[in-house]
A and B are shown apart, each in its own frame.
Chain A
């Protein structure tokens, strides 16, 4: 029997199964078209194919990334939302609809809010009130709750969110309501805000509980169904799901708290970058993933992916940033990502003011870029790369996809050159330049805007189109080293295969650091650790693999934003002091100032319970000489480089033929099955012992 770890990623176009041979480190990829209306169908196809290809496979674990949560909230793919009710404090049932009272676009008289997940008639206020110190001002009116529970039964409600004021300090009333619901209506799903997101800010906490309530029936039935079908094929491995924070959790845990996996897919690329970074001994990485329709950037600082504590699910993205108020806020750790619509299929066009624009519309998979010859008439980023000689002018995907360069030329001439006076080459180079400046911006958002200097980072370029743009972006951000991993098109899958178990626990405290009782807070941490250990046990993580990361959310008293500060065990006065010190430092780094004599407030105590998994082994190979073998050069062609503002006769290498240790001086192009790496004139490419291409900037003459 050969042991495999299997990841399944359902994308908009393809469903990918990537299996890692746990002994040899080899990987196997099976790709089938996605079946959006019934996602499990494509998954089963990939499994069948996998089992056919590997006669003696034993699957140890299945790790799954899915967009089902976002799709359901966006009202896509016929995913009907379950009938959901909300119970709040009397007088406050509209908090969920009022939100933060802002509109998410300033200059739009036709602005619309995201649709309300629970109609007003299914939002109920109950008589009760807890005060800001957790004191009970009005006891819970149980008679009212009792009759409400009966009404919910009659109305055939499937799932309920309960979110009362100040429940993060005192969850008593929420728990009582929860118990009454479960007792009378055992089949109903219940999401208590004090369990799902026990943090202050009533709107965000309520919204998180509501999103969780809506998703619970959808996600649990989807995952149950998927597991049943996979089992039927004889595969008995446990099913795990990638969460938004880059950790995995088993099906049963995610089913109860689906709010943890709303951004299940995009995190994988960043986790893969972190995994490679550890392997190669690189702590600071900017992860850059460019595919067919979008580009995504993330940051890893000191081997840890950067996370944010809130996200706007199903929201809109405007110039790289997610727009507050355009979706449903969810309080949970999310891998910090910036995104823009710049991918291979992104369309270039000329606006009314005669300016060249790139995006946001994409030609998608159908018809795709003009050069695919599938009827696309609009020029895309890929077409510009064809005209500039960067992409193979005859075929891509090892010959599976034919390329028609004359169609690229025609599209650019007609749509761009004829509208603004530009030569073909100028126009193509312009398209690339504009796309690059949009992509450089998202890299800046996750670095410069977060207080990091990009020059301290290595750029990890992946996705089908990433390695083609790496050198230009690195030059823009003054980065001097780039890694192009072995299989850029499949790289994200390593994120699924290498992710640890993660469970996030939180307890609101709201106390000045000067007034904190060390023993009490230590006890809080210990209670959270106990809870975390239980969760990990349930997922069969052995004790030796459990790790507990302690954190505190701190802020200056009176501020409204917190910073998360890691802290150590056990808690002492000294440890508290250090935490305050690190807080001042981090505040300085991000916000440019610190006030040492200002009071610091402890808002939340946080614990991440981590279950380490054995990391995939990558195949290491012996070193060859520096000079690439002759057969690695497959051709020469004219490739355009901005530096010379001209085409240069450039050698084209076949990546599969390159050996470990080979060094290539730019300009050069390295082609492989699913990606093309462009080496700019001042850059040098070398192949490391795992087969990654490392691009480094040579000392420039001047």
Chain B
């Protein structure tokens, strides 16, 4: 097999999603020559995602060709080390993307910052509640950065993604209408919050009666026309539904295609190379320096791209897998707890209550762009957590994502799954239901990890990534407690009926839950427990950066995308301000 060698560049970026697009933009802006390698095809939202064809639930939610094509590559899954992992043969629990723009092309636009407490979870909680606060097998840890370190980069990301919201804390001053529990912001959101729906009003009234503080959750679907930090123009969201899982026809959903690419493609030192599947990070003979990457192009050629800086900016799974395939860093071993690559895999904890009103009619199809009313009073370290018996928190929300008819038509508990009674219940309840949901944190544990599968291979003959994961008692305790709290909220609404989604006893790959897979290449202050330092720089190879959801040591409650984008801004600034002054050196 001959390997084609491409012209050397300053930086090669693997992946063109939320992280890759921003890293490319920032480095090209700084004058570096940058090549972006994306395994998926090219996409142009103005041609590919148009009305009325984007309003097609079957095409996008069920059979989407903007999701990962599992025929070429998937992961294997098992609940514990005693089982044989089997391939995830069809998408279910989560939906990674595969095209230029990545997973965020179809995200739901939930754009919340983490709380200051989230970044120092381990140290702050142990200081407040003692060393025994965490379950013994819990490997959750501090991030190596504080909220104050990264606040400017949250702000930057919000001004790239046009996030709409109302500040709850401006420089320490609590603001009416916002989330009073958020960390201090240096300035207001770039766009106003979403308008509150009738369902949101019902939720807001109920939580207010219980002493909580409702606010409109921040969202990255434009609440007005907006020109962003990169001078790219975005349209206003029309609330037509067909949002999460779907691409947007309006240029209203912030994602790499609508916020960064139009400016990035104008950079003379930048090149996008789609349909290039990176299979390895190459190193020199010392193993301490990355020389570039090897990829398979659309025609099946093996190609080498050399670069001074290598940036892995793919989904959590591929960042981890590329390190393992390249023999970089020490693979995590759950039996000894040693090693870091594949360590601290976590997910997102969720729950919901469907609430039915005979006497109220809603328009459930109007929505999308993460229109939601939320509370953060049960999250982070807002309440005294001693005696609760679990680690973690959740935000509680009432969202109107736009109820599409195949998947979103809740029926009261006890309704048969099919037949005339089901049909009647569907017809009677579609306009009469709102949903109160729990969006909760998920800790990391010694037995939850990613490694290479010993049996199954991808289309290139390389081992698939293996996920070993199950729900931990801690998250189940938290969910039970949260369900008690939201049941109180629901009762205040005085509904005709309501029912809670049951707490799953085991993690299943089958039902959709969230595309919030985190960790595997955790960031941190200690190379014994993290794979990258606080600048997302590999501890082992200083000219290799691994940026994305893979860096989360555990998953806080709020939804990861805003923080993934923030980390891209933070890492890019670190490379420009620190690394390039001392290239090849550790930044800490």
Question: Bound pair: A and B?
Answer: no
Q: Which residues of B contact A (CB under 8 A)?
A: none
Q: Which residues of A contact B (CB under 8 A)?
A: none
